[in-house]
Amino acid sequence: MADAEEVSNKQVIFRDYVSGFPKESDMYMTTSTISLKVPEGSKAVVVKNLYLSCDPYMRPRMSYTTDSYIHSFKPGSVISGYGVAKVLDSGHPNFSKGDLVWGFTGWEEYTLITAPESLFKIPNNDVPLSYYIGILGMPGITAYAGFYEICSPKKGEYVYVSAASGAVGQLVGQFAKLIGCYVVGSAGSKEKVDLLKNKFGFDEAFNYKEEQDLVACLKRYFPEGIDIYFENVGGPMLDAVLANMRVQGRIAACGMISQYNLDKPVGVYNLMNIIKKQIKMQGFVAGSYFHLYPKFLEMILPHVKEGKVVYVEDIAEGLESAPQALIGLFSGRNVGKQVVLVARE
C-alpha cells in the first residue's frame, strides 16, 4: 500500500456510555491517518465529509442498548451519523470519483465506507448541499412518512406538532398547511415561536416553557380537539395531547426527546383515551421508508425550488464544533436543523 496516499484525519471519538444528560466531554477530538484510496479489490468508497447531521436519535445511541433499531456508539470509536460527502475514490460500480452522496458516514474528515450501497447519490441541482441531511434527507423522509403515510391527513383537520421548529417539525407544519389543515406548533423560545408563525406559516404557535397546564393550553388552541399529533417530545406533552385528541385521531410517534436523558422515563397516565377516542398511535423510523425517497423527492423538490416550502438550518462551522452542536440539541439551543459544516466542496 502506498503510504504516500495517507493523509491525516481529524475525528470525533465517543468516549464511553452516557447516563443522564450528555456533555461535550463525552466526545473528544483525535487525529489519525487514512488512505484516500480504497483497498485493492474492495467495493468500498473513500469520501471527504462536507456536512454532518446532529439528530436527536443519536442520544439513545450514547447509552448501552441491544434492543433498538440501531446500534449504540462504540466507546473509543468514531461517532457515526448522516452526512453529505464527496467520493474521492470508489471500488463500487455505482459510485465514481467526484460524486456527491448522502448517507451514513463518520464524524471525521475522511471516511472509508465499506458498504456504500445504502448511500444516495445527490443529483446536480441548485439546492444547498446541506439540505441532503435535512429537508431532502433523513429528516425530510421522516416528516413525509410520518405525516402522509401514518397520519393520512385530510383537509381541514386539526394538527399539532411538538418540537415544531426542529429538523422534522418545521416540515410537518408546512406539509399540513399544503393540504389545508389547521396547524399549531410548540417550541421552547420566543424566537422559535416567531419562526413557526412568521416563517413556516403555522396558524398558531406557543412556547411550552411558559405553560403551567399543558392540558388547558392545548384545549385553548384546539377547542375542537386534535386530529393528528406529530410526536417529537414524549412525557407530559404526550399525556396532555392524549387528553385532547379527537375520535379516530392519529399520533405519529417520531421521537420523545424529553425522555432521552432521564434515567427513568416519566409516566404517561391518559392512555385510556386511546380506547375511548379510538386513537392510532404508531411509532416509526425513517429507515423503514427509504423506499419512498424517489416519490418524496418528486413531491418536495418543486416546492423547495419555488420557495413554497422553506427550511431553516443552524450551521456550526468546523468538525471541532460538532460535539457542542450535538449536545445543544438536548437543551434546544439550535434554531432549526442542526448541521456541522466540515468542509466546503
Interacting residues with its own copies (CB under 8 A): 60, 67-69, 234, 238, 247, 253-256, 259, 264-285, 288
Provide, rounded to whole angstroms, the least separation between the CB of residue 65 and its own copies: 8
**3, three cell numbers:** 503510504
- C-beta of 264 vs 344, nearer to its own copies: 264
Among residues 207 and 259, whose Cβ is nearest to its own copies?
A: 259
Classify burial at 329, counting beta carbons within 10 Å of its beta carbon; exposed 0-12, middle 13-18, buried 19 or more: buried
Q: Which is nearer to its own copies, 122 or 242 (CB)?
A: 242
Is beta strand 337-341 parallel, antiparallel or unpaired with respect to 45-53? antiparallel
CA pair distance 82, 104, nearest whole angstrom? 4
Shortest gap between Cβ of 293 and its own copies (angstroms)? 18
Rounded to the nearest whole angstrom, what is the least distance from the CB of residue 100 to its own copies in the complex?
30
For the CB of residue 160, give the shortest distance to its own copies in the complex, in Å: 17
Query: In the complex, what is the shortest distance from the CB of residue 237 to its own copies, in angstroms, rounded to a whole number?
Result: 12
Q: Select 48 or 219, whichever has its Cβ closest to its own copies.
A: 219
126 Cβ contact list (under 8 Å, min separation 6): 305
Looking at the Cβ atoms of 263 and 306, the one nearer to its own copies is 263
Residues in the chain: 345
